[in-house]
Amino acid sequence: MGMALITGASEGIGKELAHLFAAAGHDVILVARNRAKLEALAQTLITRHGIQANIIVKDLGHPQAADEIYHICQTEQWPIDYLVNNAGFGLLGSFVDTELATETDMIAVNVTALTQLTKRFLPHMVERRSGRILQVASLASFMPGPLMSVYYATKAYVLSFSEALQQELRGTGVTVTALCPGPTNTAFKHRANMNNPPHVEKSSLDVRHVAQAGYAGMMKGKTIVIPGFPYRTFVFLCRFLPRAWVSRFVHFNQKQRL
Ligand SMILES: NC(=O)c1ccc[n+]([C@@H]2O[C@H](COP(=O)([O-])OP(=O)(O)OC[C@H]3O[C@@H](n4cnc5c(N)ncnc54)[C@H](OP(=O)(O)O)[C@@H]3O)[C@@H](O)[C@H]2O)c1
């Protein structure tokens, strides 16, 4: 059935994606920093679905992490048929006040590790003429993000990178899908120091729905997946509005989350 490597599998969207892969009979390799959570999830998936589930405990903020993950997979002879670059985090705050160390780490996890893992595993997929990559981007990929400037910029990179690769890879049997969810009910907001006002909480997407949309889109080889009709409409409308207006709108919204 094939093997999936999923980063950020200890919680949230990544954990739900791991459930979906396992339920479909795929073996999984779960990557994150929290060993206890990864072990518990692996055990649940093995018991529930009778698949193979292995864990790799890594901090993707470390420059060598992606290479180390790749070498473990090579040594263990785990052929990666599905790569899910999901690990990521954000930080709310004015750029003049936020910690550079956190933002440097964010770029390392959201951008550098995602790029390195893609670089490592993609050639094997192309050689086999089969493979699927799911890059978890965001609604943030489509617009500038005042008060979360670095996070939005990292997600713009993920979308641009994924669309470009999808084009380069036409005819190879390998596809790259960017999953672009709006606010989703996970631990993301706490890690990002966000206090969502009630209307944002109310319109937050269900994590299972987001994972299902991403999984289905990746399997179909879609280029972009935006879960939820209102969010698809929002992205469509943004194309026709001046960027400065969109930036002002995002700024207004983010202020309410401080
Ligand atoms: N929730 C939203 O509103 C939303 C909206 C759009 C896009 N997204 C994107 O969706 C992805 C998943 O986020 P989520 O909402 O599921 O958040 P989450 O519940 O906080 O999960 C984040 C996952 O990433 C892992 N991670 C974070 N830093 C890591 C590091 N340095 N090394 C390895 N793993 C790391 C975490 O595991 P450990 O802590 O165990 O390492 C965790 O498994 C992210 O890329 C995020 O940007 C989220």
pLDDT tens for each residue of 116-170: 999 999 999 999 999 999 999 999 999 999 999 999 999 999 999 999 999 999 9
Please name the residue ranges forming H helices in 56-148: 65-75, 100-107, 114-128
Instruction: Give percent helix, percent strand, percent coil of the chain, each to the nearest 5.
Output: 55, 15, 35
* Helix and strand counts by DSSP (H, E) for the chain: 11, 7
pLDDT tens per residue across span 214-243 = 999 999 999 999 999 999 999 999 999 999
Structural domain tally of the chain? 1
Answer whether 158 contacts ligand 1 (Cβ < 6 A). no
Residue nearest to atom 23 of ligand 1 (CA): 8
pLDDT > 90? residue 1:
no
Q: What is the pLDDT of residue 200?
A: 84
**What percent of the chain is predicted at pLDDT more than 70?**
100
CA of 11 to the centre of ligand 1 (A): 7
Answer whether 59 contacts ligand 1 (Cβ < 6 A). yes
Q: What is the pLDDT of residue 58?
A: 98
CA of 242 to the centre of ligand 1 (A): 31
Annotated catalytic residues are: 151
**What percent of the chain is predicted at pLDDT more than 90?**
97
- Go through the chain and tell me how many residues it has: 258
Q: What is the pLDDT of residue 118?
A: 98
pLDDT > 90? residue 197:
no
Give the atom of ligand 1 at the shortest distance from the alpha carbon of 139.
6
CA of 75 to the centre of ligand 1 (A): 27
First to last CA, the chain: 45
| CATH number of the domain enclosing 42 | 3.40.50.720
pLDDT > 90? residue 7:
yes
pLDDT band at 63 (very low <50, low <70, confident <90, very high): very high
Q: What is the distance between the alpha carbons of residues 209 and 13, in angstroms, rounded to a whole number?
A: 9
Residue nearest to atom 16 of ligand 1 (CA): 12
Q: What is the distance between the alpha carbons of residues 150 and 156, in angstroms, rounded to a whole number?
A: 10
* Mean per-residue pLDDT, 180-202: 93
CA of 86 to the centre of ligand 1 (A): 7
CA of 85 to the centre of ligand 1 (A): 10
Answer whether 41 contacts ligand 1 (Cβ < 6 A). no
Which residue range(s) make up the domain with 11? 3-255
pLDDT tens per residue across span 8-43 = 999 999 999 999 999 999 999 999 999 999 999 999
Of 69, 110, 179, 184, the one to substitute when testing ligand 1's pocket (max ligand atoms within 8 A of C-beta) is 184
Instruction: Give how far the C-alpha of residue 190 lies from the chain's centroid of Cα atoms, to the nearest Å.
Output: 17
Answer whether 8 contacts ligand 1 (Cβ < 6 A). yes
